[in-house]
Structure 1
Amino acid sequence: MSGRRRLLALPPLGADLIHHVFDPLGADVIVPAERSRDALHAELADADLVIGDFTGELAIDAAAVAAAPHLAFVQMPSVGVDTVDVDALTAAGVPVANTAGANARSVAEWALGAALDLSRQLSWADRRMREGGWPQLETAARGSDELANRRVGVLGMGAIGAEVTRLFEAFGCQVAYWSRRRRDTGVYRELDDLLAGSDILVVCLPRTPETVGLLDSPRLALLPEGAFLVNVARGGIAPDDAVLAALESGRLGGAALDVYEREPLPADHPLRRHESVLLSPHAAGSTRQSQLNIITAVIDNIRAAVEGRPVANVVNGLGPLIRRR
């Protein structure tokens, strides 16, 4: 394959916007004619650079990789890479990059705000006020607490986990963490020990085969009674049914959820009706600042790939120089 590089852009954005952003980078920019598997595979036949679809609707799975003989690089416009088959891409020799750290502050601030909401019953009191009530005594009776001196467990110590730790410590919380790789800083505890000593558990782990179902019902039962769960990771790490059961039993005093096993969360899902749940539509990282960080990281990497310079944030252990295939 020779000549200009062909960049297939899969994010669910308007074609005019995609061309406005990426045409100046020196590649032929392609947007699928329709958001379907057939259209995706047709365009992959000639594409060598791909910007992935963070929604997973146009997933780069093993079949898509097989349909892309010239594919040389996949750039995800997100921190998570669970909407692409990393193993299949690695086997094909295709580097995959993410935008590590781009939304760390945004997600960490959401986690802190969600913990404050649960601790002070903010959303619950707001709903009662909008219904015409005046739940002054009831709010306190539900267990309104300060964050200071609460024991906070952080699962995952990447960029988001590190920022979560910093923000909660600034509020006077006692923070410890568990991660698949132990860090040189911070208070590390083994997973079950961390759960048993966490008044607030913040989940920041990537979704991998090892983390799916990690926080099942037996693990959630290790938490102190009335603990709070704040999940800013990915759906399935704490299965929705397990979370719901822990809420119903009182093991969880509340949960703030930005992610779910099925997204969008079905309209009739019982989590939508639970009074002790704060719901968010996978938007913890969606601030203007983080979106600017993400698009800047994507532009920088695509420009580097086109110009023959090393790309940043390759997650699958392959070299950062993007070579034609």
Structure 2
Amino acid sequence: MGRAPDVSQHLATPDSERPDLLPRLPQDAALYVELPLDGAEKEQLRAGVPGPVWFAEADSDSPDDARALAVSHIALGNPRPEWVAAAPRLRWLQLASVGIDSYLGLDWPVLERRLTVTNLGGLFADPVAETCLAGILALYRGIDVLAGLRADETWARHDVRPGLRLLGGADVLILGRGSIARRLAELLAPFGCAVSHFARGDGDLRTREKLDARLPEFDIVVGLLPGTEETADLFDERRIGLLRPGAVFVNAGRGTLADEDALVAALASGRLGGAVLDVTREEPLPAGHPLWSCPNVILTQHTAGGSRVETQQVLDLFADNWRRLTTGAPLLNTVRWGRGF
């Protein structure tokens, strides 16, 4: 496997306030890994750490894997939350995701005293931003419709062509100002799009009142927010109703952002021009769900962060944080449970 491209410019800054883990880790600290790796990738991990390594299957529910985690000091992957809570030796967990939603229910005021968690913040900036752009362009240029017509062997050039839109000069609102949001803004710049951000600290729109006042101005709204109590149902029926007729709604953040029933109704009625959804409230999306058949919807099935070099990027970040850990340097992407991401 080739080396992954450098994504360091997207990664979060080191956390200078992290607990000092090194004195509490033995030199031969045991590593638990729960990732789908090939033989060469496993050897790469073994060569990079001095202690024993246990490889579990991804999404494991094996009692043997649970016991292995319970005696490990470091973990890489996303083991079951209840296993993490029951692993008394665990001192550092490097998640193989940005999202931490499944772990929010643990007793972090207690766990955080001994366990530091880092995530993949910033690692997916390029692929997620590119998926958002690809989905928007597919809707604007009718690619989704034309792909379906090909499957039916239907030639409908004169029906499709008059409805095609141009992205150039569109007014775009990006919800969030993290690494993905910044990268998407860069990709939209050559199209001459006017990009605004909704973000509490440094956004063009910083309050919900400002959001409500300006929502009808935008042709495209892109959700890239973390899953917190503050962002849950931010786009409820009322706020979806504020979107400009014909607007495109994109969500590559968390499925809890939008009221899916209200979104389906707005799309089915033709009031909205389309939706690009990488995330949904329930995943996998169940059979018969209205989003499967709703018009002008592109479902990318939580693949936006994927790429051929994704696994290597995860291993590279783990290796970087391992070096930081063993040299006493601050870790990258430390999760702060008080803020929910």
TM-score by length of 2: 0.81
**CA separation in 2, counterparts of 1:265 and 1:175?**
31
For residue 87 of structure 1, report the CA deviation from its aligned partner: 6.0
**Alignment partner of 1:46 is 2:71:** yes
**Alignment partner of 1:88 is 2:107:** yes
Q: What is residue 106 of structure 1 aligned with on the other side?
A: 127
Match of 2:52 among 20, 25, 28: 28
For residue 45 of structure 1, report the CA deviation from its aligned partner: 2.0
**Alignment partner of 1:210 is 2:235:** no
Gaps of 5+ in 1: 319-325
For residue 307 of structure 1, report the CA deviation from its aligned partner: 5.3
Q: What is residue 195 of structure 1 aligned with on the other side?
A: 215
1:264 is matched by which residue type in structure 2? P
1:236 is matched by which residue type in structure 2? T
Question: What aligned pairs does 1:203-282 form with structure 2 within 5 A after superposition?
Answer: 203-282=223-302
**CA separation in 2, counterparts of 1:97 and 1:245?**
39
Q: 1:9 to 1:64 in 2, by over 3 A?
A: same
Contact 1:97–1:314 (CA under 8 A) maintained in structure 2: yes
Aligned with 2:254: secondary structure? coil
Contact 2:236–2:259 (CA under 8 A) maintained in structure 1: yes
Identity level (%):
33
2:212 is matched by which residue type in structure 1? D
Gaps of 5+ in 2: 1-24
Q: 1:104 to 1:3 in 2, by over 3 A?
A: closer
Q: 1:4 to 1:307 in 2, by over 3 A?
A: farther
Q: What is residue 4 of structure 2 aligned with on the other side?
A: none
For residue 96 of structure 1, report the CA deviation from its aligned partner: 1.5
Q: 1:307 to 1:208 in 2, by over 3 A?
A: same
Q: 1:140 to 1:294 in 2, by over 3 A?
A: same
2:43 is matched by which residue type in structure 1? H
Aligned with 1:153: secondary structure? strand
Aligned with 1:312: secondary structure? coil
**CA separation in 2, counterparts of 1:213 and 1:37?**
35
Contact 1:5–1:306 (CA under 8 A) maintained in structure 2: no
Q: What is residue 192 of structure 2 aligned with on the other side?
A: 172
- Size of the aligned set, in residue pairs, is 307
Q: What is residue 160 of structure 2 aligned with on the other side?
A: 139
Contact 1:129–1:135 (CA under 8 A) maintained in structure 2: no
**CA separation in 2, counterparts of 1:9 and 1:110?**
28
Aligned with 1:74: secondary structure? strand
Greater shift after overlay, 221-230 or 271-280? 271-280
CA RMSD of aligned residues (A): 2.5
**CA separation in 2, counterparts of 1:306 and 1:232?**
35
- Cα deviation digits, residues 208-262 of structure 1 (max 9, x gap): 2221221122111110111111111122212432321221233321111111112
For residue 152 of structure 1, report the CA deviation from its aligned partner: 0.6
Q: What is residue 6 of structure 1 aligned with on the other side?
A: 30
Q: What is residue 75 of structure 1 aligned with on the other side?
A: 94
2:274 is matched by which residue type in structure 1? G
Q: What is residue 17 of structure 2 aligned with on the other side?
A: none
Greater shift after overlay, 25-34 or 157-166? 25-34
Contact 1:150–1:200 (CA under 8 A) maintained in structure 2: yes
- Cα deviation digits, residues 117-168 of structure 1 (max 9, x gap): 1111111122113312221122134x31100111111001100001111211
**CA separation in 2, counterparts of 1:28 and 1:90?**
30
**CA separation in 2, counterparts of 1:115 and 1:231?**
11
Match of 1:121 among 128, 142, 145: 142
2:235 is matched by which residue type in structure 1? L
